[in-house]
Amino acid sequence: MTDAHDALSTRLVHATGGDRHSGGVHAPVHPSVQYAYDKVEDLIGVFQGKVKGSFNYARQGTPTTAALEAVITELEGGTGSISFATGMAALTALFLTLLKAGDHLVTSARVFGNTNSLFQTLEGLGIAVSRVDAGDVAAVRAALRPETRMVFAETIANPSTRIPDLEGIGALCREHGLLYVVDNTVTSPALCRPKHFGAGLVMNSLTKTLAGHGEALGGAVTDTGCFDWSSYPNIFPAYRQGDPRGWGLQQIRKKGLRDMGGTLSSEAAHRILVGMETLELRLKRSSDTALALARHLAAHPAIAKVHYPMLDSHPEHARARDWFGGGSWMMAFELGDAGRLVDVLNRLRLPLKATGLADTRSLIIPVAPTIFWEMGAEARAAMGIADGLVRLSVGLEAAEDLIADFDQALAA
């Protein structure tokens, strides 16, 4: 048993407590879809929510996904979490169950490309979306309307590494009673607890920082307990029962997980739990390496610009230093001569030419012609995505090996 004062790694390696029945040190992987009860009264009680922590059909969760959710809730300092098959499934369930036609959402203009694409789908369903420079809380304030229901931001924007005024937006949302949703994927709860800024809901792609091994997809939504759901107009009458602190998550679990069905498998939940045991070690190592490499590239004559939050030159360096105490594994850079881009990336020996983030291996990708291609040049320019921008997810290779590899690739 650990307590709240233990260091993060201590808590993480003991987080699930293993399997009480067998003494196995990992939480068991439960493959069952059906969960049976000796007495039909108990089965009825489970369906009516009167038997807490019980299972009926695995689309709504299994003991293994529940074990994972408990650890994420503890890490985020929340009141509860729901896991999903992917980060995008988590975001889809969150937006579609809490917003309806006529509502308005304010989002940072700099968000993950697929999240931006999802916002276009929401617009098609009659939900208005305003994309603003969330680095400045005044821009968020100016976008608010009477029908605004939600404000959305990422802690460190993918791939620009820009950091919104998370604190100012939190204060603004509190002032207006607005639901504040923060995507904590890049920082993870090891660097940032959005609850401190007043976020009501936190989303994590478990695929990235939390699992860290690139062999399982997953996502989660956590309720921090900061938001007063009794004032939220879009809660269905069926879920306006009992303690209002549980209403939002209850609606996302029923309408989002149960009805939309983007459920995490027990097998993937287990793999993510194993990855999370080394979260603190991995994040420290890749953050240190990323900073060393960012400093080296910033001083390199072939590089025009390096985007990394822990560089003094980063526009929100003070926010990264004071709020996160680290920059995470994601950096981006621009070559002085964009025409050399393909050649330089092909010469790199270590980083894999692949999309994806937070693997043990470094991953590199030119942004504009790949992950931000579909949206077109105009939208890219609005999001600050230069044609020569390269995203690098720094893995667990040694800093000196990565630096030597970039030196040889850039020298040619």
Provide the binding-site residues for ligand PLP, judged by CB under 6 A. Answer: 86-88, 112, 115, 154, 158, 183, 185-186, 205, 207-208, 217, 219, 357
Residues 383 and 109 sit within 8 Å (Cβ to Cβ) = yes
SS3 call for 196: helix
Q: For residue 184, give the nearest of 345, 76, 80, 283 by alpha carbon.
A: 76
Residue-wise burial string across 225-241, b where 16 or more C-beta atoms lie within 10 A, e elsewhere: ebbebeebeebeeebee
Between 88 and 143, name the residue whose CB sits nearer to ligand PLP.
88
Q: Closest distance between ligand PLP and the C-beta of residue 354, in Å?
A: 13
Q: Closest distance between ligand PLP and the C-beta of residue 99, in Å?
A: 17
Between 158 and 251, name the residue whose CB sits nearer to ligand PLP.
158
Between 28 and 212, name the residue whose CB sits nearer to ligand PLP.
212
> ω into residue 159 within 30 of 0, thus cis?
yes
Q: Closest distance between ligand PLP and the C-beta of residue 18, in Å?
A: 27
Q: Closest distance between ligand PLP and the C-beta of residue 388, in Å?
A: 21
Residue nearest to ligand PLP (CB): 87
Between 86 and 107, name the residue whose CB sits nearer to ligand PLP.
86
Rg (C-alpha) for the chain, rounded Å, is 22
Between 58 and 186, name the residue whose CB sits nearer to ligand PLP.
186
Between 93 and 186, name the residue whose CB sits nearer to ligand PLP.
186
8/17 Cα distance (integer angstroms): 15
Q: Closest distance between ligand PLP and the C-beta of residue 237, in Å?
A: 32
Q: Closest distance between ligand PLP and the C-beta of residue 88, in Å?
A: 4
- The DSSP-derived string for 40-101 is HHHHHHHHTT-STT--SBGGG--HHHHHHHHHHHHHHT-SEEEEESSHHHHHHHHHHHH--T
Q: Which residues fall within 8 angstroms of residue 30, CB to CB, at 6 or more apart?
A: 58, 62, 63, 64, 266
Residues 221 and 201 sit within 8 Å (Cβ to Cβ) = yes
Between 222 and 250, name the residue whose CB sits nearer to ligand PLP.
222
Q: Closest distance between ligand PLP and the C-beta of residue 184, in Å?
A: 9
